[in-house]
Amino acid sequence: MQKSTLSPAAAARNPQPSLSTFLNEDFLLHTEASKRLYHGYAKGLPIIDYHCHLSPEAIAQNQNFANLTSIWLAGDHYKWRALRTLGIDEKYITGNATDEEKFLKWAGAVPYTVRNPLYHWTHMELHNPFGVDELLTELNAPEVYAHCNQLLQQPEFTPQGLLTHFGVEMVGTTDDPTDDLAFHRQISENGFKTEVRPSFRPDKVLNLAGGNAFRDYIRLLASVTGAEIFNLDSLLEALENRVNYFHAHGCRISDHGLTSLPLGQKSVQQLNKVFTDVLQGDDKEAAQYHDAFGRFLLVELARMYYQKGWVQQFHVGAIRNNNHRMLQVNGPDTGYDSIGDYPQIQAMASFFNQLEQENCLTKTIIYNLNPADNAAFATMIGNFQGGGIKGKMQFGSAWWFLDNLDGMKQQMDALSSMGLISCFVGMLTDSRSFLSYSRHEYFRRLLCNLLGEDMERGLLPMDLPWMGKMVQDICYYNAKNYFPS
């Protein structure tokens, strides 16, 4: 892909510090061993992005983006939170300002994001793929915007072009069980080299206390499967129908976004009665049975995943939609979520133990959002390893508020100290942006620096071929071998 820089005339009008002052080829690599690990082993490896929120429709249609705002700012609640913190009016964030006005506000904000990962990500994403080699400020923002918009109209800057440019071998999207997966079929039939696979995300079916929204969802699920849902047995039949459908369309991964794994348990007869009451509009016991209903369904789903040989993922710990006034204005997923403080470990142990007792615990990745729980997560996976599977249980990469240098280091330190980082399946984007693949580079540089510094300090052997092989495993090969084809 062509990497252009700003014109000499534009640079002369608004001279800015060069990125090479800090974001150069040895960015984050503080020792000679770190540099040799990254440049000799990690750099250039393909990417397996096994969990993200990219749009299958955008990939299938493969249209050029209208401008830099549409690909870079739209839907990015990381940036939205920063803009609000700086006192920028909501008009320029989610409101009716023009795309160029929104970009200019973001450009003016960027210098004030120092020490937030947004500062690094912003400049990494402008440099690759757009070739911008200046620090972004309000002074050079118009030229940067025009430069990137021009490149975005080239064929190499479509969704498929960008995935190819970044060397993405596999994408795991996040898909509701009611999705017909038409765009996944279209992508597959068109012969795009990057595998774009659906992931089964049944969160809405667990929300027994969701009132009319829950009933509407059950009706939608029934419509998609072509069979009435009137009790627990018919609900499980509908879910199995969709698991089979997803499997036939290449799905091999499930995902669940939860505050915590539910711990409550009730008899099937009790749950069936409450579920049928809820379907008929009676919610008086829904909240009381909510956790037990979620636990029951998750266990049943986990049994299905095991039978299919899928990998199951659990993202736990977020407290969502905290600002109810702005939820009414902007809706969910607009920057009003944060790290929750939920008990995690007892329910997790109980859930995995039940599946292990039945010999139906499939490969599992658990993602932690509260760094206070890192050690507990790192030790929990060790309780359920085995079955002749390398790294069957995974402490997943630092995510959301933790996919920064400190958060990723803390996750890897806990995993290294209490498990085996050599078995780690590495980084994912968890992003809605086609420019977020810089996060894989960010992770790889940090990993190489951690190992390289230990080698220089004498904590690890100065054996570059061996340590380089481990780097390559963590960055690519472990994931390639872990996820079923």
CATH number at residue 130: 1.10.2020.10
Same domain, 336 and 357: yes
How many Cα atoms are found within 13 Å in the side-chain-facing hemisphere of 73? 27
pLDDT digit string, tens, across residues 56-65: 999 999 999 9
Q: What is the DSSP letter of 40?
A: I
Please give the average per-residue pLDDT across 130-152, as a whole number: 97
State the average pLDDT over residues 412-418. 98
Whether the per-residue pLDDT at 5 is higher than 60: the answer is: no
CB 102 within 8 A of CB 70: no
d(CA 207, CA 415): 32
142: Cβ contacts below 8 Å, ≥ 6 apart:
104
pLDDT at position 423 is 98
Please compute the mean of the pLDDT values over residues 77-84 and round it to a whole number: 97
**Residues 143 and 206 occupy one common structural domain:** no
> Sorting pLDDT into bands at 50, 70 and 90, what band is 18?
confident
The CATH number of the domain holding residue 451 is 3.20.20.140
Q: Give percent of the chain with pLDDT exceeding 90.
A: 94
DSSP 386: B
Distance between CA 159 and CA 406 in Å, rounded? 30
pLDDT in tens, 421-432: 999 999 999 999
CA 192 to CA 367: how far, in whole Å? 30
Could you give the CA distance from residue 187 to residue 190 in angstroms, rounded to a whole number?
5
Mean pLDDT over residues 196-202, rounded? 98
> Sorting pLDDT into bands at 50, 70 and 90, what band is 11?
low
pLDDT-based confidence at 433, cuts 50/70/90? very high
Same domain, 78 and 173: no
User: Are 186 and 112 found together in one domain?
Assistant: no
Confidence at 20, pLDDT banded by 50, 70, 90: confident
Domain co-membership, 214 together with 136: no
Across the strands, what pairs with 168? Answer: 47
Cα–Cα nearest to 294, from 212, 226, 351, 352: 351
| Rounded Cα distance, 176 and 180, in Å | 9
So what's the pLDDT on residue 154? 97
Say which residue, 365 or 17, is predicted with more confidence.
Answer: 365
Are residue 395 and residue 422 in the same domain, yes or no? yes
Residue 139 belongs to a domain: yes
How far apart, in whole angstroms, are the C-alpha atoms of residue 246 and residue 251? 5
In the structure encoding, which two tokens stand for residue 346, read together? 């007892």
pLDDT of residue 236 exceeding 80: yes
Residue at which a domain ends, from 131, 157, 183: 157
Q: Which residue has the higher pLDDT, 460 or 11?
A: 460
| pLDDT at residue 364 is higher than 60 | yes
When mean pLDDT is compared across 13-22, 31-40, 404-413, the lowest value belongs to 13-22
Check: CB of residue 304 under 8 Å from CB of residue 248: no
pLDDT band at 419 (very low <50, low <70, confident <90, very high): very high
Q: Indicate the DSSP class of residue 327.
A: H
State how far the alpha carbon of 363 is from the alpha carbons of 94, 275, 337, 394, in Å: 39, 30, 28, 8
Residue 57 lies in a domain: no
Task: Quote the CA–CA distance of 201 and 312 in Å, as a whole number.
Answer: 10
Same domain, 206 and 247: yes
Cα 315 to Cα 261: distance, rounded to the nearest angstrom: 9
The per-residue pLDDT for range 238-286, each reduced to its tens digit, is 999 999 999 999 999 999 999 999 998 999 999 999 999 999 999 999 9
What average pLDDT does the chain have?
96
Q: Are residues 210 and 104 in the same domain?
A: no
Tokens representing 354 are: 């039940």
- Residue 2: its pLDDT value, please? 46
pLDDT tens figures, 103-131: 999 999 999 999 999 999 999 999 999 99
**pLDDT for the residue numbered 21:** 84
Take residue 69 and report the two structure tokens written for it. Answer: 């705002």
H helix intervals, 331-463: 345-357, 374-380, 405-418, 438-456
Determine the residue type at 196. Answer: V
Tell me which of 134, 157, 180 is where a domain ends: 157
- Whether residue 3 is predicted with pLDDT greater than 70 in this model: the reply is no
User: What's the pLDDT band for 8 if we cut at 50, 70, 90?
Assistant: low
Same domain for 260 and 123: no
Q: Would you list the DSSP string of 256-308?
A: EEESS-------HHHHHHHHHHHHTT--TTHHHHHHHHHHHHHHHHHHHHHHH
Q: Map tokens 């789903």 to a residue.
A: 301
Same domain, 312 and 393: yes
3-class SS of residue 309: coil
* pLDDT above 60 for 4: no
Q: Which of 123, 157, 191 is the last residue of a domain?
A: 157
**Domain range for residue 207?**
160-482
What distance in Å separates the CA atoms of residue 72 and residue 79, rounded to the nearest whole number?
9
Spatial neighbors of 420 by CB under 8 A, at least 6 apart, are 391
